[in-house]
Amino acid sequence: MRWDSLDREACSLSRTLAVIGDRWTLLVLRDAFLRVRRFEDFQASLGIARRVLTERLMLLVDEGVLRKVAYQERPVRYEYRLTEKGLGLYPALVALVHWGDEHYAGKKGPPLLHRHLTCGHDFRSVMTCSECGDAIDPREVKPHAGPGAKKRA
Amino acid sequence: MRWDSLDREACSLSRTLAVIGDRWTLLVLRDAFLRVRRFEDFQASLGIARRVLTERLMLLVDEGVLRKVAYQERPVRYEYRLTEKGLGLYPALVALVHWGDEHYAGKKGPPLLHRHLTCGHDFRSVMTCSECGDAIDPREVKPHAGPGAKKRA
DNA sequence: TTGACTAAGTTCACTTTCAAGACTTACTAG
DNA sequence: CTAGTAAGTCTTGAAAGTGAACTTAGTCAA
């Protein structure tokens, strides 16, 4: 199967990965969450090939994850900012970071901590159920076909 | 920067993506969470090139995300099962799926729903703070250097 | 008014990875 | 013997990524 047909699959993960699933995009978004906004800054921070960065930023803008905002005229220069849709990726990103913290942090501990300003503490994210509010154990979840499902094997 | 040096970055996301960040791996893991376990089943379900599937499964086994379990002798055949470490990726996966549900489900709704067996309802995942238990707004989080940090620009 | 500088790309030559399908191995079943 | 099965392995052309140089549209300083 070719990658560019993934967005036609009846699976929300496939559709999501068609947008943010390549090797660099999540790192671009990590930087965006850390307030990186300009082409040169992304490039310097990531060491990504410029052509690839151009492509990824364009795709993210097309998809409405980032938007271009002019920060000067003459010459017009744009920076890239997260949209609301982009902010919606935060839980996924944090979950990936915390998995890395747990399994790949050295003896010294994680390189980056996250402080919850509302309560003032460094936190880990906990996945809870929107219905009962309890923390979710993967073994207590049963996936089943939803309204948008096609029949599948 | 080359992809294979990402695991040396002082960032838990880089280290995570060095393991599961390529185009196919999360789809392999989605299938694993849906109880797919055998080479032929992954291959048929994903339409992934066989060589790539072989590589990905080997990497995931090396990293301790999956483990090989013999399910028959003569000839010995193995299947791939999630380890505890692998189960730890569930929150990230669900967050990505729900983002896809929100932004890419058609008019009919999401193709797959998740039922929380403990409470009996279909749910969305909510990211909450391990310290105060409240739902987290990305704008109320401040990242700061942790014990494993290197100095950076 | 030339020359240096900046930010955001674009182009090019080269390398790596991927896609699709055929082939291999080690068995079983008839 | 022949066919079938599961899990790879190999091959070849196509696609994508890499790194460095180049381009564009402007500023500022001498």
Nucleotides of D under 7 A from a protein CB: 6-11, 16-21, 25-27
Q: Answer whether B60's CB lies under 8 Å from B28's CB.
A: yes
Picking from B21, B90, B115, the nearest residue to A142 by CB comes out as B115
For position B93, what pLDDT does the model report? 97
Among A78-82, B134-138, B146-150, whose mean pLDDT is lowest? B146-150
For position A153, what pLDDT does the model report? 34
Report the alpha-carbon distance of residue A70 to residue A67 in Å, rounded.
10
Closest CA to B26 of A135, A15, A101: A15
Instruction: Find the Å distance, CA of residue A40 to C1' of nucleotide C5.
Output: 15
Instruction: Find the Å distance, CA of residue A145 to C1' of nucleotide D27.
Output: 59
Whether omega before B111 lies within 30 degrees of 0, making that bond cis, reads no
Domain B3-140 in this protein, CATH class:
mainly alpha
**What are the chain A neighbours of B131 within 8 Å (beta carbons)?**
116, 119, 121-123
How many of the other CB atoms lie within 10 Å of CB of A71?
12
Distance from CA of B112 to the nearest CA of A (A): 5
Q: Closest residue by Cα to the C1' atom of nucleotide C12?
A: A51
**What are the chain B neighbours of A134 within 8 Å (beta carbons)?**
116, 118-119
For position A42, what pLDDT does the model report? 98
Closest CA to B71 of B95, B41, B30: B41
Q: Domain boundaries in chain A?
A: 3-140
Nearest CA in chain B to A133: B126
DSSP assignment of B7-19: GGSS-HHHHHHHH
Q: Evaluate if the CB of B38 falls below 7 Å from strand D.
A: yes
Of residues B107 and A13, more confidence is placed in: A13
DSSP character at residue B138: G
Of residues B150 and A99, more confidence is placed in: A99
Cβ B99–A92 below 8 Å, yes or no? yes
Closest CA to B132 of A123, A33, A143: A123
Show the DSSP H helices in B22-89 as ranges: 25-33, 39-46, 50-62, 84-87
Picking from B13, B22, B139, the nearest residue to A97 by CB comes out as B13
Report the alpha-carbon distance of residue A38 to residue B31 in Å, rounded.
37
For position A5, what pLDDT does the model report? 79
DSSP assignment of chain A: --GGGGGGSS-HHHHHHHHH-STTHHHHHHHHHTT--SHHHHHHHH---HHHHHHHHHHHHHTTSEEEEEEETTTTEEEEEE-HHHHTTHHHHHHHHHHHHHHH-BTTB-SEEEEETTTTEE--EEEEETTT--B--GGGEEEEE-TTPPP--
Relative to beta strand B66-72, strand A141-145 is unpaired
For position B98, what pLDDT does the model report? 96
- 3-state secondary structure (DSSP) of residue B148: coil
pLDDT in tens, B15-26: 999 999 998 999
- 3-state secondary structure (DSSP) of residue B104: helix
Report the alpha-carbon distance of residue A149 to residue A40 in Å, rounded.
42
Whether A122 has its CB under 8 Å from any CB of chain B: the answer is yes
For position A152, what pLDDT does the model report? 42
Query: Which residues, at least 6 apart from A87, have a Cβ–Cβ distance to it below 8 Å?
Result: B138, B139
pTM: 0.94
pLDDT of chain A, 153 residues: tens digit per residue = 777 777 777 789 999 999 999 999 999 999 999 999 999 999 999 999 999 999 999 999 999 999 999 999 888 999 999 999 999 999 999 999 999 999 999 889 999 999 999 999 999 999 999 999 999 999 999 999 999 887 543
Instruction: Find the Å distance, CA of residue A62 to C1' of nucleotide C6.
Output: 27
Triad A35, A113, A90: Cα angle to 5°: 50
For position B152, what pLDDT does the model report? 42
Distance from CA of A119 to the nearest CA of B (A): 6
